[in-house]
Amino acid sequence: MRFRHSAFDLVSDIQNPSCILEPSEIVDFIMRYFAILALSGLVWASGSAAEQARTMDAGSGSETAPSVAINDVPTKVVESTCPVVSFADVFADPDNIRLNYCYLRQKVDGGELKAALPVVERLLLLEPHQEQVRVLYASLLYHNDMMSDAKREFTGVDRVRLPQNNQTLVIDYLRKIDELDKRLNQSLDFSLGGHFDDNRNAAPEGDTILFYGFEFPYKIEKVDDYGTQGTARYDIAYKFGQYRSHRLLGSLEYARDNQAYYDNEDFASLNSSAGARFDLGGSDLTTLGYYSFHRLNGNSFLRSVGSQLSLSHSWYLREQKLTYRTIASSGWFSDTYMNSDASQNAEMNSGDRVYARLYGSVTFNSSQQLSLGLNYTNKNTDAPDTTDYEYDAWSASIGHLWMFGAGHSLSSYVSGGRTSYKGSAESVTGDPRKVRLDTPVRVSITLESPIAWFVDAMAIGAGSKTAANLPGFKNFTLALSGEYLSNHSNIPNYDYNNVRWQALLRKRFEF
C-alpha cells in the first residue's frame, strides 16, 4: 500500500478546526494513521518471528502463531491541537465528536487499547454509517485479542465498497485472523550435516599429568575426528481459550551422531517433552515434563526424566523501538546411567540434577538482538563416596544475533563460568577430597542462509522465478558454525582446548 501522507502530514491535516469538526475527515485521518502503523507492525513482526525462534527455552515448543500485541500502536505525536481530555470531559459532552476523537487519540498514544474501545463505540453511535470507523473498531478488537468479534466486524465491512487502501488493510487483517484462529499447529524439522573436532580425546595442553597425586612427564597427543550428525524433530501445539493464546505443547526428537574413528562415542538419543503454556496477558507461564533415552556405541547409556517451569515476559518501547524479553526458568532431572563396555563406571554418575536460569534480550531496529544469560546447575549422585561426579556450576553468557533480512542471520555467543566438583578421582589426585575447579570458556559463531540464495547465486532458478518462490525452498537453510572451547582446570589432566567446525542443512515443514 502507498499513502500520500506521513504521520506528521496527517497531524497537520487536522489542525484546521473545520477539518476536526467534520466527522468524515476525522475518521479518514484515524484510518490512515492506523493503516500506516499496521504496516509498520508487519515489518516489525517479520524480525520478531526470528527472534522468538531463537530465544525460547530448549524443549519449550515452537512459537507456531504470531502473538497479538500492541507493537504497532502509533507512537506519540507531539504536534497536536488536541487538549488533554479526561473521562469527565467526555462524560459531560458525550456527543462532541472532536472531544471523543481527542480522547481516543490520547488512549491510543498511551497504549490503552482496551480503554479506546468504548470511545470508538461512541463514535459509531454518533456516525453509525461510517464504515471506516467500523474498520477502526474491528482493528481495535483485533489488538485486544477479541478475534471472533474482530472477524465479524471485518467480514461485515468487507462486503461494502471501501477505498483501496482500507480494503487491502481489511483483507490483510482477515488473513491474520484466520492464521490465529488455527488451533492445531504442527511442524517437522530435519537437519543433516557433518562436524570436525581437532581434539576429540580432550588431550591436556600440558606435558605432564597426575597419577595418584604424582606428576609424570607424559604428553598425550591430540586426536582429531570428524563425523556425521542428523536430527528429526516433531512439534505440536494446540491452542485453547478464546481470548488468550494458551497452548498444549508436545515434541519428539531423534538425534544421531556417528564418529569416523571413535566408534565408542557414536551417540543416539530420543527426547520427548509435553506440557502447556499459559498466556497471562503479556507474560507466558510454561510447564513441561521431559523424558529422554540415550545410547552410546549401540548400548543403553542414560535415561533421564524431569520437569521444567519457566516464566517469560516481553514488552515493547514504541518511542525507542526496542523489544525486551526476559525468561526465568528452573528444572529438575533424575539421571540414571547404565554401565557398558564403552563406559564401565557410568552408573556412578546417576543422581539428581537441578538448574536455574535467567535470560534477557533486547531487540532493536528489528534486526539486532543482544542477549544475556545467567545459569546455575547442581548435580548430586546416588552412590556414596563419589564426590568427583558431584558439582556446582555457575556460568554467564552473552550473545548477539544479526538478522540481515531475506532469511540471512549471523549469531555469536560467548560463555564462561566456574564448575566446582566436590571431590576428584583418587587415581588422578591421590586424594578424593581434593576439590577440582574448572573454568570453561566457549566462543561460537554461526552463519545461516537460505539454500534459495545459493541457488539463485548460481543462476539455477526456474525461468524468471527465483528459488525463494519455489515451495521446496521454503524454510530450507544452510548453517555454518565454528566453536572454540577452552577448559582450564587446577588439575592438569582436565586442562584442554578444542576447536569444532560444523555444517548443517536444515529443513522445516509446517502444517
Residue 83: is it exposed, middle or buried by C-beta count within 10 angstroms (0-12/13-18/19+)?
exposed
Q: What is the pLDDT of residue 165?
A: 67
pLDDT at 9: 30
Half-sphere exposure of 415 (CA within 13 A, CB side): 23
Distance CA(281)–CA(466), nearest Å, equals 41
pLDDT for 470 equals 79
Instruction: Quote the pLDDT of residue 465.
Output: 56
- The predicted structure's pLDDT at residue 177: 79
Q: Helix 113-126 to helix 97-109 angle, to the nearest 10 degrees?
A: 160
Cβ burial, residue 87 (10 Å; 0-12/13-18/19+): exposed
Are 481 and 447 contacting, i.e. CB atoms less than 8 angstroms apart? yes
Give pLDDT, residue 164: 65
For residue 412, count other CB atoms closer than 10 A to its CB: 14
Options 3.40.190.10, 2.40.160.40, 2.40.110.10, 1.10.10.10; CATH for 184-510 is 2.40.160.40
CA distance 204 to 492: 7
Block means of pLDDT (10 residues each) for the chain, 511 residues, are 30 32 42 41 37 38 33 35 79 80 77 78 75 79 80 77 71 78 89 95 92 92 93 94 80 94 86 96 93 92 97 84 93 93 82 97 90 97 83 97 89 97 91 93 97 81 62 90 96 96 96 85
In DSSP notation, 322-333 reads EEEEEEEEEEEE
Domain boundaries, the chain: 7-181, 184-510
Whole-model pTM? 0.69
Please, how many CA atoms are within 13 Å of residue 474, restricted to the half-sphere of its CB?
A: 8
Q: What is the pLDDT of residues 381-427, one digit of tens each?
A: 988 777 788 999 999 999 999 998 788 999 999 999 999 999 998 89
Answer whether 481's CB lies under 8 Å from 501's CB.
yes
Check residue 68 and report its DSSP letter. Answer: P
- Measure the CA–CA gap between 142 and 153, rounded to whole angstroms: 10
Q: Which helix (H) or strand (E) holds 169?
A: helix 164-181
Could you tell me which of 408, 404, 400 has the C-alpha nearest to residue 477?
Answer: 408
Instruction: Report pLDDT for 161.
Output: 66
pLDDT digits (tens, 9 = 90+) for 108-125: 777 677 777 888 787 777
Helices 131-143 & 164-181 angle (0-180, nearest 10)? 30
